[in-house]
A = this chain, B = another copy of it.
Amino acid sequence: MDQEPKSSRQGRRSGGRAEKRAARSAAPTATAPYIVRGVPTADVLSLEGIEIIEANAETILAEIGIDFTGDDEILALWRDAGADVSGTRVRLPRGMARKLIATAPAEFTQHARNPARSVRIGGNNMVIGPVYGPPFVHDMEGGRRYATLQDFENFVKLAYLSPHIHHSGGTVCEPVDVPVPKRHLDMNYAHMRWSDKAFMGSVTHPDRAADTIAMADILFGDGYLNDNTVIMSLINVNSPMTFDATMLGALKTYVAANQAVIVTPFIMSGAMAPVSVAGTLAQAMAEGMAGAALTQLIRPGAPVVFGLFAAALSMQTGAPTFGMPEPIQVMLAASQMVRRLGLPFRSGGSLTASKIADAQAAYESAHSLWPAVMGGVNFILHGAGWLEGGLVSSYEKFIMDEDQCGMMAVLAKGVDLSEEAQAMDAIREIGPGKHFLGSAHTQRNFETAFFRSTVADNNSFEQWSADGASDAMIRASGLWKERLAAYEAPIMDPAIDEALKAFIAKRREELPDSEY
């Protein structure tokens, strides 16, 4: 289970193709392509607690069951595998899901078109991606408005430019100025052309998943996809305990092509799950285990990530809340349980219910990012830019959040215990009552010693006042504009670019302008 899947090992061996892809993209890698944890995970459950929740999840699977709607093929798969299928309800005998999941890789590589940006999903690795899903965008001057393709491209570029965001993500915002049936073509192209980091595919229709695979096939060429995972896509569970036809269709398409899916219970506790941490956990485990098991029925060995989106409903107002302690407990506990299940885990991010990038936004985001990083989440989605309960992608908050992701990366790497870091020579040199500024050790190390925030103002009150008494939002507003102004596209082979454009033009002709 700890082995890299055969597919990506084969991919690595084919140095010729990798070199060709590297030549197409010469953007400098400013930082490590992902985080390798050096600190233990922060846990909240005892072994006894884990076993209670595991038993409850098995009870849900065996006695209550999961609905798989609108897909007879999948019901037949379950029936053939020995599940109890009644209508759309599928009940799995105790232990069946866990046994099926055993063929899924504990870690896998998602290849980027720039091999230096390929990411390891699972194990001690942590990959952070940007916000996913909002129909709106917000910036300090323009305020809140519907997102456009221009915004989509801007967020792809900001994620590309960020040294702390490892992944290009998927729906960084919904380009609502493009018709729904054609939108995925522009979104895929933006990820492929304006970034060289790994990306997520369309899941809103099986045909759009197929288009995503076809475009990736053009991008990577030479049948590369046959042996390698290059797309990772978000398959949400329609909680409680339901998989719908759209998601199942997309899941089947990707899994059959050996591309990764993130099966994600999407839960607001109190509405889509019980109003308690332990109840939410058992249900989420049952849902995720059923989805992950299904991927292995479709294609044993296919990469699958166990996802969890956990929030809580305010039981007083009915509003979704973020950064609250109960969903944090759900995330930390699920991280422990999924690790024991042997699957990579996706959760977390910089979540908030705030309408602007104020102190509420920052506190809540930190409360989501900390448990994700310290709890050992392998793929952190919504790492930067999320605002207003996921309705808004915020330019300023993207800049603030990615700065935080950089800090958390330093923290997660762990304490440097080298002789140089122990600095006993400095302590001997300086001794009591003096300062370390001029020590030889300080001179050798001060340039790289401490994380440098791009957003924080650490100046004196007087200097800060003289500089205009800015708040973090104002400073972030300047930064995203500076970065986009300095953006340069990664190099791409013109023939590939032409082929992608030709594919898009053909599909634009074939597809209708309104939803089908």
Contacts and interface: CB of A to CB of B under 8 A. Distances in A.
Interface string A32-47: 0000000110111100
B445 A276 contact: yes
Interface string A88-103: 0100000000000000
A418 B279 CA distance: 10
Nearest to A320: B458
A472 to B, nearest CB: 4
In the A-B complex, the 4 residue pairs with the closest CB atoms = A279-B423, A366-B366, A362-B362, A274-B423
Nearest to A287: B432
Interface stretch (A210-218, A300-308, A407-415, A481-489): A407-415
Nearest to A238: B433
Given A366-B370, A407-B367, A411-B325, A282 B427 contact: yes
Contacts of A451: 324-326
Given A360-B472, A432-B240, A471-B360, A461 B325 contact: no
A419 to B, nearest CB: 9
5 contacts: A241-B432, A275-B436, A279-B423, A312-B450, A367-B404
Contacts of A447: 315
A431 B314 CA distance: 22
A126 to B, nearest CB: 14
A39 B49 contact: no
Interface in A250-298: 269-279, 281-283
Given A43-B40, A436-B240, A274 B441 contact: yes
A169 interface: no
A416 B240 contact: no
Interface stretch (A178-186, A188-196, A350-358): A350-358
Given A436-B273, A446-B270, A458-B317, A56 B424 contact: yes
Of the listed residues A314, A391, A453, A456, the one surrounded by the most CB atoms of chain B closer than 10 A to its CB is A456
A361 interface: yes
Given A277-B416, A313-B450, 9 more contacts: A64-B428, A240-B430, A270-B446, A275-B426, A279-B427, A279-B441, A314-B452, A324-B407, A374-B374
A274 B472 contact: no
Interface string A318-333: 0111011110110001
Contact of A422 (B238, B282, B455): B282
Nearest to A464: B355
B52 A43 contact: no
A364 interface: yes
Nearest to A283: B427
B456 A424 contact: no
B315 A446 contact: yes
Contact of A471 (B39, B56, B66, B359): B359
Given A355-B464, A432-B242, A458-B321, A416 B276 contact: yes
Given A56-B422, A329-B411, A314 B458 contact: yes
A393 B89 CA distance: 59
A144 B317 CA distance: 36
A374 B42 CA distance: 8
A356 to B, nearest CB: 6
A89 B432 contact: yes
A490 B492 CA distance: 72
B60 A436 contact: no
A435 B465 CA distance: 52
Nearest to A315: B446
A200 interface: no
A363 interface: yes
Interface string A437-455: 1010110011101111101
A421 to B, nearest CB: 4
A119 interface: no
A433 B400 contact: no
A24 B363 CA distance: 39
Contacts of A436: 240, 270-275
Contacts of A364: 456
Interface in A355-384: 355-367, 370, 374
Contacts of A421: 276-279
A434 interface: yes
Nearest to A59: B424
B426 A353 contact: no
Of the listed residues A89, A242, A428, A458, the one surrounded by the most CB atoms of chain B closer than 10 A to its CB is A458
A457 interface: yes
A417 interface: yes
Given A278-B417, A354-B457, A458-B320, A363 B89 contact: no
A459 interface: yes
Nearest to A89: B432
Given A328-B411, A446-B275, A472-B354, A417 B457 contact: no
